[in-house]
Structure 1
Amino acid sequence: MTREEAEQVLTEAGTAEDDAFPLLEAAIACAIHDYPHRETAPVRTLAANAAERLAERMARESHDDALVETMASDLRLNGDLLHYDDPANTDIIDVAERRRGLSAALAVFYIHAAAQAGLICRGVDFPGHFLLRVETPDGPVALDPFSQGRIVMPSELTRRALLAGLTPHVADRLDLLMAPVTDRQALIRLQNMLYVRALRRQDFEGAERSAVRRVLLDPEDHRPWLDVATAREKQGALAGALAALDRARGLDGHGQMHARSAHDRIRLRLN
């Protein structure tokens, strides 16, 4: 698959309804968009094996236990503690080959397998650490895919929330801490992470690519265009940055002030 073909997949995913969002295929396209012409069969093979094994386990185990045992024990998916900042940890193709990654990347396999097996599993955009919410007959439980899928108890959710800077009256609200996000938002979270990491490495082309993927995945959101503009400005592509800011201004009135300020600043650099 070429980068152009990956963009077409992401464009189609961006127009899909949330309940029909093709998470696995969109995640593969994101990886190819970053580094094209790679073999994607390992991702699909791992995803198919996960769905098959999960369905078998669900016939004899509780839903949350079946999901954890399938993903963490049978398929050995886990967080990469030793090389946390390795770019491979956010690339779905590399994660499939290494069986190591960050929570937001590992979550793609959890969510996809659960959907195929008829289990309700959604991402939780928890501060600083992506989690999963699994619906069980006894109520929802939070799982941490980075830590072998272990259950995160309510008291620990509150503790983590406080450490992340949330106020006590918010940190005690489990309904807020475990609020599920759509599959689209889960994948966008991963692209946000890639954007921040690319900026940190001063890989401004990579930062632009990750922001463009967010544009394609959620074409009605003005915010990715602001990040495209930032990445282009840092590359010295000022005309391209202005074009991105114009797109942001055209999408959302709430972004008008920010976009106009940045637009004027970049325009002065061109004069």
Structure 2
Amino acid sequence: MSDDLNRLGLLDDEDIELDEAALVLACLDHPEADPTGYWDELDAIEARLDAIGADAETAVERADALAEVLAGEYGFGGDAKTYDDPANADLIRVIDRRRGLPVSLSILWVALARRLGWSADILDVPGHVLVLIGREAAPVIVDPFAGGARVSAERLGALVEAAAANGPAVTHVAAMPNRAVLVRLLQNQASRAEAAGKGRRALDLYTRMTVVAPDYAHGWWERARLELVDGEVAAGRASLGAILEITRDTVLRQRVTQLLAALSSD
């Protein structure tokens, strides 16, 4: 595991720079790549955004500047044709292809807005990811996957209602902490890898998740599950033990304790 990844796991949430973190994760899969060119690309986009949005004061004006630069000039948009392509959650490949998933594109939008000191957050909307520009004074919600299209209150409500019809009721939509965004990015990669029959790849991604977000029990559970499938019993026990160290969820603790007892009796 790289030193950069380990350092990322030790940062306070507010100190995480989303573009830097996503690039660190991508570089793990491209050891031959020189990240300098990608930093230069992001710096160039920032400079162009600074020029276009120099006079942007309102959330609407800033959202328009982001759309003009990222979607209009640089061509970033959602990959609807090959949505499940792993490249869509890999920031290096997203920059190369100008295509990505909602979460990877939202990372770019939010990171570049924050570089200019603009308020921007990623919203965890059921079944989707959106970006909130501004906060108190007339904030704007946009969809980077759709080129920065404005999302009305009615459209947001429809997304929440649709999710409620197919699962637990959603009472509110909140901004995601930076670490949760990275977990979402890794989860996208891991679930697609496992669906493609690449268990070892999925295990690597869940291992990264436990380094980036060591207090996130789900990552440890999935890591333990795949370690046990792979016959790595000692590693699986250690991952299960980590869950007991970080969670107070009584149901989960009981589940982990029962599994550890079963492993001990084997």
Q: State the TM-score, normalizing by the size of structure 1.
A: 0.88
Distance 1:81 1:169, change over 3 A: closer
- For the pair 1:221 / 2:220, whether they are aligned, the reply is no
Query: Structure 2: 5+ residue runs without aligned partners?
Result: none
Amino acid at match of 2:121: R
Please give the secondary structure, in 2, of the residue aligned with 1:119. coil
Please give the secondary structure, in 2, of the residue aligned with 1:104. helix
Partners of 1:36 and 1:25 lie apart in 2 by: 16
Partners of 2:129 and 2:262 lie apart in 1 by: 35
Shift in Å, 1:77: 0.6
Partners of 1:68 and 1:265 lie apart in 2 by: 54
Distance 1:170 1:52, change over 3 A: farther
Name 1:71's counterpart in structure 2: 70
Shift in Å, 1:54: 1.4
- For the pair 1:200 / 2:195, whether they are aligned, the reply is yes
Structure 1, 200-209 or 249-258: larger mean CA deviation: 249-258
Shift in Å, 1:23: 1.9
Shift in Å, 1:220: 2.4
Name 1:55's counterpart in structure 2: 50
Amino acid at match of 1:71: L
Shift in Å, 1:60: 3.8
Q: State the TM-score, normalizing by the size of structure 2.
A: 0.89
Shift in Å, 1:11: 1.8
Name 1:242's counterpart in structure 2: 237
Amino acid at match of 1:154: A
Partners of 1:267 and 1:149 lie apart in 2 by: 53
Please give the secondary structure, in 2, of the residue aligned with 1:164. helix
Please give the secondary structure, in 2, of the residue aligned with 1:36. coil
Amino acid at match of 2:260: H
Name 2:91's counterpart in structure 1: 92
Query: Structure 1: 5+ residue runs without aligned partners?
Result: none
RMSD between superposed Cα atoms in Å: 2.2
- For the pair 1:15 / 2:10, whether they are aligned, the reply is yes
Structure 1, 84-93 or 44-53: larger mean CA deviation: 44-53
Structure 1, 205-214 or 121-130: larger mean CA deviation: 205-214
Please give the secondary structure, in 1, of the residue aligned with 2:71. helix
Partners of 1:11 and 1:230 lie apart in 2 by: 22
Distance 1:233 1:63, change over 3 A: same
Distance 1:266 1:146, change over 3 A: farther
Amino acid at match of 2:211: L
Amino acid at match of 1:131: L
Partners of 1:193 and 1:261 lie apart in 2 by: 29
Structure 1, 20-29 or 125-134: larger mean CA deviation: 20-29
Q: How does 1:115-126 map to 2 (within 5 A)?
A: 115-126=114-125
Please give the secondary structure, in 2, of the residue aligned with 1:256. helix
Please give the secondary structure, in 2, of the residue aligned with 1:85. coil
Paired residue total: 260
Partners of 2:116 and 2:169 lie apart in 1 by: 34
Please give the secondary structure, in 1, of the residue aligned with 2:131. strand
% identical aligned pairs: 26
Name 2:253's counterpart in structure 1: 256
Partners of 1:236 and 1:18 lie apart in 2 by: 34
Partners of 1:136 and 1:226 lie apart in 2 by: 35
Partners of 2:178 and 2:209 lie apart in 1 by: 13
Structure 1, 35-44 or 181-190: larger mean CA deviation: 35-44
Please give the secondary structure, in 2, of the residue aligned with 1:43. helix
Contact (CA 8 Å) 1:63, 1:136: kept in 2 or not?
no
Deviation by residue 1:217-265 (Cα, 9 ceiling, x = unmatched): 2222333111110121222222221121111112223241222233234
Amino acid at match of 1:113: L
